[in-house]
């Protein structure tokens, strides 16, 4: 496998917490060093029960550290945090994730995580039941909202012979994710040096609600997670981001949030800001139809089944394509499989490509929202990115945050190649 670009000369703190997958961190360390990174290993007390610090000291760029108090340095976590270009924690146990989310610094590794302003990449590993526990997922959601990046675990054989999700991602995938983060953040970590610095971005998120009466509406299952991931990733890469959303949740750091509810409100909010945008990403699930007339009062069940006449809403993506004057337009095509079968790759690509041409979109992201691990309400997606030249790039299952970064990679590349 080729050595990932972006790691040469960069300082990486490699955190190792106490799980059986700690042995795989040795391979991660070796790959980072082979890619030219300066690696400073930090092991928790639990990690030393699984693997000796001497192993990392022999492979890394400096001796492994295991304690706040094992050297003459008065504040080793500050030095490590301030000097790091990137902090990678692999494996990240449920304990480490929870401690980090709570802001508790009870050892050298968690103190370093709180002391750094460098990007942080977590690679969780734990048993399936622990991985699926609401507390673990909520802690990860907290960290993601704060800008922490996560390499989702794989499914496979776990400790004790069980099979399931929670297996540490392969070292090559973790190192590739680390390299990708460093490329995004440029020579000096921080939003000001990111590759979208100075770009004005408009992102939509969530599903619209079209009222039938004051308490009922026509809607969809969109959670807004993809739009929020895109907005947060763009802001992290230096863009000036406006997020137009139907979702009641905190805005990603560094973004301006505009709340709307209906397709008409979203159309007005987007179109009124379109002229000053450089990149527009229509990730929202906008209703195609709305009730022609909404009842002014709640419709009573005793009055019988109401007749709801529908009319089409504004096709916002098509309107943006028609009005385009230099903006880069990204669309989403949510499709469902027929007869319970996934439409990849042919049907999905064909449908999305047709929409792309008809609506003058520069980049189309197609995904099958009928799959249980993809689309609405979940944290992962399986997508195909389609370019105007007809190239269809089928992506593996990944988190929406990872997909957001991948989409921005393609946008940045297109902007740089534009005449």
| Judgement on whether residues 300 and 409 belong to the same structural domain of the protein | yes
Condensed to tens digits (0 to 9), the pLDDT of residues 242-270 reads: 999 999 888 887 789 999 999 999 999 99
pLDDT of residue 385: 92
Clarify whether residues 312 and 259 are in a common domain: yes
Nearest to 31 by CA among 179, 151, 175: 175
Rounded CA-CA distance 376/66 in Å is 42
pLDDT at 341 over 60: no
Same domain, 179 and 197: no
Q: What is the per-residue pLDDT for 375?
A: 64
Give the pLDDT score at 326: 92
Residues 234 and 326 in one domain: yes
Boundaries of domain holding 59: 11-189
For range 71-100, the mean pLDDT: 88
Residue 2: inside a domain: no
Cα→Cα distances 285→132, 180, 250, 375, Å = 27, 29, 19, 11
The secondary structure element, H or E, covering residue 244 is strand 240-245
Is residue 4 a part of any domain in this protein? Answer: no
Give the whole-number percent of the chain exceeding pLDDT 90: 48
pTM of the model: 0.60
Task: Tell me, yes or no, whether 328 lies in a domain.
Answer: yes
- Considering the domain architecture, whether residues 362 and 241 belong to the same structural domain is answered as yes
- Any idea what DSSP says for residue 8? T
Per-residue pLDDT for 296 more than 70? yes
Domain final residue, candidates 165, 189, 213: 189
22 in the same domain as 136: yes
Q: How far apart are CA 132 and CA 166, in angstroms?
A: 9
The CATH number linked to 64 is 3.40.50.1950
Tell me the catalytic residues.
220
pLDDT at 184 over 90: no
Query: Which two tokens mark 48?
Result: 């030393």
- Domain-located, residue 319: yes
Question: What is the model's pLDDT at position 188?
Answer: 38
pLDDT bin (cut points 50, 70, 90) of residue 181 is confident
Length in residues, the chain: 419
Handedness of CA 243, 248, 254, 257 (dihedral sign): positive
| The domain boundary residue, chosen from 125, 155, 189 | 189
Q: Which two tokens stand for residue 94?
A: 């449920």
* Same domain assignment for residues 116 and 152: yes
Contact criterion met (CB below 8 Å) for 213 and 303: no
53: which 2 tokens? 């610090």
Domain-terminating residue out of 153, 168, 189: 189
Count of structural domains, the chain: 2
Contact in structure between 171 and 24 (CB atoms under 8 Å): yes
Judged on CB neighbours under 10 Å (0-12, 13-18, 19+), 410 is middle
Q: Which of 387, 389, 385 is nearest to 406 (CA)?
A: 385
Q: What is the CATH number of the domain that holds 386?
A: 3.40.50.10300
Do 63 and 93 lie in one domain? The reply is: yes
Cβ neighbours of residue 356 closer than 8 Å, sequence gap 6 or more: 331, 333, 364, 386, 388
> Is residue 39 one of the residues assigned to a domain?
yes
pLDDT band at 81 (very low <50, low <70, confident <90, very high): confident
């Amino acid at each position: 496998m080729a050595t990932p670009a972006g790691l040469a000369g960069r300082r990486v703190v490699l955190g190792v917490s106490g799980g059986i997958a700690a042995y795989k961190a040795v391979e991660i360390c070796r790959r980072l060093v082979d890619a030219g990174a300066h690696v400073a290993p930090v092991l928790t007390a639990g990690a030393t029960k699984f693997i000796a610090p001497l192993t990392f000291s022999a492979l890394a760029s400096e001796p492994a550290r295991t304690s706040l108090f094992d050297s003459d340095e008065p504040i080793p976590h500050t030095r490590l945090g301030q000097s790091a270009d990137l902090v990678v924690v692999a494996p990240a146990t449920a304990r480490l994730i929870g401690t980090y989310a709570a802001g508790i610094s009870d050892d050298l590794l968690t103190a370093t995580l709180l002391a750094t302003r460098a990007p942080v990449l977590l690679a969780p590993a734990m048993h399936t039941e622990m991985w699926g526990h609401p507390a673990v997922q909520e802690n990860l959601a907290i960290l993601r909202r704060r800008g922490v990046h996560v390499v989702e675990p794989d499914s496979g054989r776990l400790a004790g012979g069980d099979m399931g999700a929670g297996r540490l991602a392969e070292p090559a995938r973790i190192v590739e994710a680390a390299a990708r983060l460093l490329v995004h953040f440029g020579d000096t970590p921080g939003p000001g040096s990111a590759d979208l610095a100075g770009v004005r971005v408009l992102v939509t998120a969530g599903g619209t609600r079209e009222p039938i009466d004051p308490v009922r509406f026509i809607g969809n299952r969109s959670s807004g997670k993809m739009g929020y991931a895109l907005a947060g990733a763009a802001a992290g890469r230096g863009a000036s981001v406006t997020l137009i959303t139907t979702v009641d949740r905190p805005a990603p750091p560094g973004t301006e949030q505009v709340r709307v509810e209906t397709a008409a409100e979203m159309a007005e909010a987007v179109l009124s800001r379109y002229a000053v945008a450089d990149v527009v990403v229509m990730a929202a699930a906008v209703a195609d139809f709305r009730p022609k007339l909404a009842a002014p009062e709640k419709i009573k069940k005793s009055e019988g089944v109401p007749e709801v006449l529908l009319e089409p809403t504004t096709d916002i993506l098509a309107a943006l394509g028609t009005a385009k004057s230099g903006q880069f337009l990204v669309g989403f095509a949510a499709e469902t499989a027929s007869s319970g079968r996934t439409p990849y790759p042919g049907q999905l690509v064909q449908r999305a490509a047709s929409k792309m041409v008809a609506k003058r979109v520069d980049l189309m992201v197609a995904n099958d929202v009928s799959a249980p691990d993809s689309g609405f309400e979940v944290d992962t997606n399986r997508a195909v990115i389609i370019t105007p030249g007809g190239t269809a790039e089928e992506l593996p299952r990944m988190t929406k945050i990872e997909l957001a970064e991948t989409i921005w990679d393609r946008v940045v590349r297109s902007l740089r190649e534009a005449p």
